Amino acid sequence: MTAERQPAAVSAGELAERYARVRATSLALAAPLSAEDCQVQSMPDASPVKWHLAHVTWFFETFVLERFEHGFAPFDPAFRVLFNSYYQAVGEQSARAQRGLILRPTLEGVRAYRAAIDARMAALLRARGEEPEVAALVTLGLHHEQQHQELLLTDIKHALSIDPSHAPFARRWPIARVQPAALRWFGFEGGLVEHGHDAALDGPFCFDNETPRHHSHLGPFEIASRPVSHGDWLGFIDDGGYRRPELWLSLGWDWVRAGRRTAPLYWQQRDGRWFSHTLQGLVEIDPLTPACHLSFYEADAYARWAGARLPTEVEWEFAARSVHSGAGHFADRGVFHPMPASQDAAARPVQMFGDVWEWTGSAYLPYPRFRPWPGAVGEYNGKFMCNQFVLRGGSCATPAGHVRASYRNFFPPEAQWQFSGLRLARDA
């Protein structure tokens, strides 16, 4: 990490406390699962829980201990390949689609690996935690682990959806009935705006793909007061949304036909009623909650059906900065499902952060003058800037405090297993 991208200085004690807290959260998320649950890989895009727990540990061993620990020796030389995700500069990786076939180490072996690396990291942080390079890489590693905490939830949700019992991961379901929120529009004049990470607004840490801050021009636009809801989506289905090629991009229509799709991922109809697989099991759809597990193709088709469009990521960020927190629901609620708005949208848009990641119409590309981080960690974001679209705002599976207005998530247009939804926009 370059000097201008390093986080603000914190004490070694504060960094060690945060390290322990984030690492404990990962284990707590895995605690309700059996060893068999943690082994399964339900599709190539998803990874086993066991692999997630090991990979984030590999990150600290490979990028921090190997560089800064005196007398470093690997915990197990085989782990360098087994738990490397995509870092070509580090060496070989095991095949992504075969992570579920990694039988050794066992789950208990992975827990032992975590404990050993945590002990060594604790010693390193006591000795060198205030050194800027150490602090920067550890901070990056903690944000990386938080990303994998969200992936752990989305990946196990997909795996449990295939099990005929729809076994629940969590049992807390505090969704209360609320008044339906009419969709409103909020206008913005646009003009020449600053875009990208600003430490004064977003906090000291960011990923390299959020930089550098730069100017963009916006035309006048309007953005919807809330995300599209499950009830809204039912209207799209009832109006033949999945049967009307004029609503879809060409590749999107091919995707619909190839998968014979008639509804979003996890939806199923029983006796004329719609149900959805959730991390609480199979439940009837609540029409007032934000729609989720939508591909970019679906989001784009819905926006066209609604006579609107997806916001650009510049529009989204500009609007999000006007709403302050835009309070939504994050993983700390323990619900792991988007919830109805807890705020009135009369004055400003709501739920721009949390509940569902919101697709934008922007391709995931580098900002002007973008430079990836030097070294192997430079592979973190930049090499994926092709054939993907940007999502903003975080979800109900995102750790609280992890996202910010400048945060750029990205997935290919066919991806559905993340908590991805949409918010409409239109020209003013």
Q: Tokens 């998968």 belong to which residue?
A: 259
For the segment 132-143, what is each residue's pLDDT rounded down to a tens digit? 999 999 999 999
Instruction: Tell me the pLDDT of the chain averaged across its residues.
Output: 93
- Percent of the chain predicted with pLDDT > 90: 84
Average pLDDT (366-387) is: 85
Distance of CA 56 to the CA centre of its chain: 16
Q: How far apart are CA 49 and CA 26, in angstroms?
A: 10
Residue 17, pLDDT > 50, answer yes
Partners of 267 in beta bridges: 276
pLDDT tens-digit profile of 320-363?
998 866 578 999 989 999 998 876 767 889 999 999 999 999 99
pLDDT-based confidence at residue 380 (cuts at 50, 70, 90): confident
User: How far is it, in rounded angstroms, from Cα 361 to Cα 295?
Assistant: 12
Contact 361, 302 (CB under 8 A): no
State the Cα–Cα distance between residues 31 and 148, nearest whole angstrom: 15
- Determine the pLDDT at residue 1: 41
Q: 369 CB contacts (<8 Å, ≥6 apart)?
A: 212, 214
Cβ partners under 8 Å of residue 274, min gap 6: 234, 263, 267, 268, 284, 285
Tokens standing for residue 166: 């729809």
Contact 136, 384 (CB under 8 A): no
**Phi, psi angles (nearest 5°) of residue 285:** -65, 130
Distance CA 82, CA 92 (A): 9
**In angstroms, rounded to a whole number, what is the distance separating the alpha carbons of residues 37 and 47?**
11
> Average pLDDT of 244-249?
98
